Structure 1
Amino acid sequence: MTFGVIAIWVVALGALAMCLRRSPSVARRAVQDATGGLGRVLPVMLMALPMAAFVAELIPAGWAETWLGPESGVGGIVLASLAGGLMPGGPFVAFPLVLGFLKAGAGPSQMVALISGWAILGLHRTLAWELPILGGRFILLRLAASFSLPLLAGLAAEAMLPLFPGVAAR
């Protein structure tokens, strides 16, 4: 169990204790809400994690390592940034795909850029939500202002890799 998982458990159990302190009915509602959320998320995760393993096996040998591997450098970070911006789907698609790419030899800095591109640029969200609601001029401003952020995140991750030993050996 990782530190992150332990921290989430500690926070969750602390929140449950606070709900119990407030009243048993509040705690009961919170547990019911959590159970309902878990019921919606668990089936997706049960398919998403194996999907990542399948995708990792389907990626042609050496492809992820050549184009997105640690040695791909700035070119791989740029490619990952653009691919992330074009990658459709929510977190249950994006994160397992990144896991699959990592297992297939992609570099951690490149995957930081990919996730950042997905989160910041997100063409699928831009077209489906931002364009109809906020309009084209706002989208152009937002994209122009944030286009370089995934690249900068990948470069920053590359610079910080020595501070995180073992990240590349996932």
Structure 2
Amino acid sequence: MIAAAIVIWAIVGALAVPVWRREGAYGLAEAGRTAFDTGRALMIRLPLALLAASFLMQVLPVAALVPVIGPQSGLSGIILASVIGGLMPGGPMTSFPLALVVLQGGAGVPQIVALITGWSVFALHRVLAYEAPLMGWRFVALRLVSSLILPVAAGLGAQALLNLIQ
């Protein structure tokens, strides 16, 4: 957690230099205002999203998911988690807390990697609401078919990495 914060601060510092050179103090202040406004919105949404996901854990049959997307479910669990991710509605404020709850409920890490990747790549709600109306069904079909392997590959890659570090 600390290493991630250090990396993020290093990136912020590296990006602040060109902003300072180009825009001066005004550019830094403007970026700070934008960050503060976004942070204020997140301070309201994130705790509520985590609470909602915790409530969902009480209502949803998370224990029923563990045998099918648990650590021992292997490739079939990775494939199923990829499909579940693609069908999972909502933005990151819903999907990440929900994935966290399922992970804490006993799902496997590779399966959750596949679930999040499936949500990122396929997201049926975004396909229906934005992509198909704007880009057309031919494009949607081409993108979906060409991306089909990505969540499974991400899950298998996560499994391989876990095997290496264990």
TM-score, normalised to structure 2, is 0.88
CA distance in 1, matches of 2:31, 2:63: 47
| Corresponding position of 2:77 | 76
8 Å contact 2:49–2:97 — kept in the other structure?
Answer: yes
Provide the alpha-carbon RMSD of the alignment: 2.0
8 Å contact 1:59–1:104 — kept in the other structure?
Answer: no
Count of residue correspondences: 165
Tell me which amino acid in the other structure corresponds to 1:45: L
8 Å contact 2:62–2:102 — kept in the other structure?
Answer: no
Shift of 1:62: 3.1
CA distance in 1, matches of 2:29, 2:57: 41
Task: Say if 2:76 is the partner of 1:87.
Answer: no
| Corresponding position of 2:67 | 66
CA distance in 1, matches of 2:31, 2:157: 39
Shift of 1:52: 3.0
**Which portions of structure 1, spanning 4 or more consecutive aligned residues, are displaced by more than 4 angstroms?**
16-22
Q: Taking structure 1 as reference, are residues 123 and 61 closer, same or farther at Cα in structure 2, changes over 3 Å only? A: closer
- Structure 1 unaligned segments of length 5 or more: list them: 166-170
Tell me which amino acid in the other structure corresponds to 1:145: S
Structure 1 counterpart SS, 2:89: coil
- Residues 32-71 of structure 1 mapped to structure 2, 5 A cutoff: 32-60=33-61, 62-71=63-72
- Residues 18-167 of structure 1 mapped to structure 2, 5 A cutoff: 19-20=19-20, 22-60=23-61, 62-165=63-166
Shift of 1:20: 4.9
| Corresponding position of 2:3 | 3
Spell out, residue by residue over 1:56-111, the C-alpha distance to the aligned partner (whole angstroms, 9 max, x if none): 34444632321210011111111101001111111111111110011000000100
Structure 1 counterpart SS, 2:107: coil
CA distance in 1, matches of 2:62, 2:137: 41
Return the structure number with greater helix share: 2
CA distance in 2, matches of 1:56, 1:8: 31
Query: Identity of counterpart residues, as a percentage?
Result: 41
Tell me which amino acid in the other structure corresponds to 1:126: V
Spell out, residue by residue over 1:12-60, the C-alpha distance to the aligned partner (whole angstroms, 9 max, x if none): 2454465456522222212111111112222111211223333334444
CA distance in 1, matches of 2:13, 2:50: 26
8 Å contact 1:53–1:100 — kept in the other structure?
Answer: yes
8 Å contact 2:78–2:114 — kept in the other structure?
Answer: yes
CA distance in 2, matches of 1:61, 1:115: 16
CA distance in 1, matches of 2:75, 2:11: 38
Shift of 1:132: 0.7
